[in-house]
Structure 1
């Protein structure tokens, strides 16, 4: 089952069920007006949502055309946004870029922070910044959305609380990261709003490619219509999503609608490219002695997507243009 949220002038938008091929959709106000409402009542509304999904996939009844340009983020605002760094190759490279090393504890204890969840951008919304000097970067990641998660859940049981999966562009302002982290209190200004994929999908839609808490598909990232990275998301993920959820729930419950990110997808080696620009820059520094890749500029276009074996888009594409406020057109 695939779910999306349409912009309708309200903060939380309108929930729609979307066909597997991302061509048709249907609003379901009698079941749930918003995705958060559906997550709050998941056991009660799931059969009805699944029935609508089956009808859409069968094409037996009229439906509206699905247009990602009409989409808000599936969860335009969420109760919680937690982002991990489970791809340790990315962690090592970015810490090296800041002149540091990866502590041994990172191998046994996940790195995670709580980000701003009051606004998620839609998949076609502009990436807005006040200056290119801030070092605007993209980060292509996988996200899961949970139901209610009990305190102290173990990693295996935690996977049973995954309701939906999707993609996120976790925008980072690299010029603010180092001075902000030097204060010892975490990200705030260096982490503006992130963008979610047009649809989120239930785990069963992914078949055998969702296994052992990892999504074994290629993350496709392009910049200005040129390939930037094609890493396999199932490789190099040191902590799977069950472990990440259990880490977050070690001392508190998680509420339905919690969004949890994998961290930037990253494979060892240069041949598959990268999912963020700072990683490209560090690889250049190590390989050639200097950083050549610039951060995002006004007018740059970022696209993030995953496909199935037949080349069909699983979540729809995050397709954003960078807009620097005050920049010349």
Structure 2
């Protein structure tokens, strides 16, 4: 089952939930079942079977109130969330970044996940512009996988965590690299360096991934293309040190999590692969290690980033994130 949120002038902040066909061509509103994604996930046990029936009828072509699924009128699958926590599950990525600046990776990083809380008051749509004031802030994309959960009790262990994963989607975790050093130097985490985040056009139930979903990871390549040039296509199921079950255990250690919580994987990366990068920072690190200095610039105004995951038959699973970097002027 594939779900999305379309623009709704009445419910402008949270949009209207729709069920989308597997080929991403048609959709149908679910107003009588759940108006929004948050309403659906809040009542998932009751709502999910009803949404699945709609999805089945949509595939059969027996519904009359369908419409063309246009990416021009869609929002993030969940336009705002109570909780958005992003991890750094691909430790080889962290190791590479530290190596490029001559720092060793602490041994604890291989056993204890890194996470931070991101801004969840509003997300931008998969085709919305990335608005940034200054190119010198070091504009970068980060291609990731994320899950949406139901209510998770405090102290949940990995063995119980898998059942709480209800939906899977892609992420572009936009990062302003040149603002990071000063923020981390304060030893209090990210804020200014992490502007609004975007997600894929649709979120899918894990069964849509078939054998490519093992219960805690997605085993498919995640492709990032900048200005029609491929940056990387690492397999999201390889080198994921901490799978989503382990991330859930980590973030629920001291408190429960609310339905609709989004947990990101962090930048997908494959160790030692020439095709294994999902952000420009990693590309620049590889250049630094090999040549002594980075050659690839960060994104500029007018650049376009595309992020997509295809299944084993070459079909788009989540739709494509396609965004243009645009300068904004305060005031």
TM-score, length-normalised on structure 1? 0.97
Are 1:217 and 2:207 an aligned pair? Answer: no
1:88 pairs with 2:97:
no
Q: Secondary structure at the match of 2:281?
A: helix
Q: Hey, what's the Cα distance between the residues in 2 that align with 1:67 and 1:55?
A: 20
Q: Give the alignment partner of residue 160 of structure 2, picking from 150, 157, 160.
A: 157
Q: Secondary structure of 1:121's match?
A: coil
Q: Which position in structure 2 is the counterpart of 1:7?
A: 7
Check whether the contact 2:100–2:286 (CA below 8 A) recurs between aligned residues.
Answer: no
RMSD: 1.2
CA contact (8 A) 1:149 1:255 kept: yes
For 2:93 and 2:282, the matched residues in 1 are separated by 7
Matched, 1:33 2:19: no
Query: What residue in structure 2 maps to residue 321 of structure 1?
Result: 324
Match of residue 232 from structure 2: 229
Contact 2:151/2:259 (<8 A) preserved: yes
Partner of 1:47: 49
TM-aligned CA distance change 1:270 to 1:293, over 3 Å: farther
Structure 2 distance, partners of 1:239, 1:96, is: 20
Distance 2:63 2:18 in 1: 15
1:304/1:268 CA distance change after superposition, 3 Å: same
Residues of 1 paired with 2:311 and 2:59: CA distance? Answer: 16
Deviation of 1:237 after TM superposition, in Å, equals: 0.1
For these two proteins, the number of residue pairs brought into alignment is 327
Equivalent-residue separation in structure 2 for 1:292 and 1:273 (angstroms): 18
* SS at structure 2 position matched to 1:168: strand
Report the equivalent of 1:143: 146
Which residue does 2:281 correspond to in 1? 278
Offset of residue 273 of structure 1 = 4.1
Q: 1:66 to 1:165 in 2, by over 3 A?
A: same
Contact 1:212–1:240 at 8 Å: present in 2 too?
no
The 3-state SS of whatever aligns with 1:152 is coil
Q: For residues 8-30 of structure 1, give each alpha carbon's deviation from its aligned partner in whole angstroms, at most 9, with x where no partner exists.
A: 23100000000111011000111
Offset of residue 100 of structure 1: 3.0
* C-alpha distance in 2 between matches for 1:71 and 1:303: 16
SS of alignment partner, residue 300 of structure 2? coil
Contact 1:138–1:172 (8 Å) recurs in 2: yes
Aligned twin of 1:59: 61
Q: 2:44 & 2:235 partners in 1: Cα distance? A: 31
Alignment map for 1:110-149 (pairs within 5 Å): 110-149=113-152
List alignment gaps of at least 5 residues for structure 1: none
- Determine whether 1:71 maps to 2:74: yes
Supply the distance in 2 between the matched residues of 1:155 and 1:240 (Cα, whole angstroms): 9
Q: After TM superposition, give the deviation of residue 289 of structure 1 in Å.
A: 1.4
CA contact (8 A) 1:98 1:178 kept: no
Cα deviation, residue 126, structure 1: 0.5
Q: Tell me how far 1:270 sits from its aligned partner.
A: 4.1
CA distance in structure 2 between the partners assigned to 1:271 and 1:99 by the alignment: 21
Q: Quick one: which of 229, 240, 246 aligns to 1:243?
A: 246
Structure 2: which 5+ runs fail to align? none
SS at match of 1:120: coil
Q: TM-score, normalised by structure 2?
A: 0.97
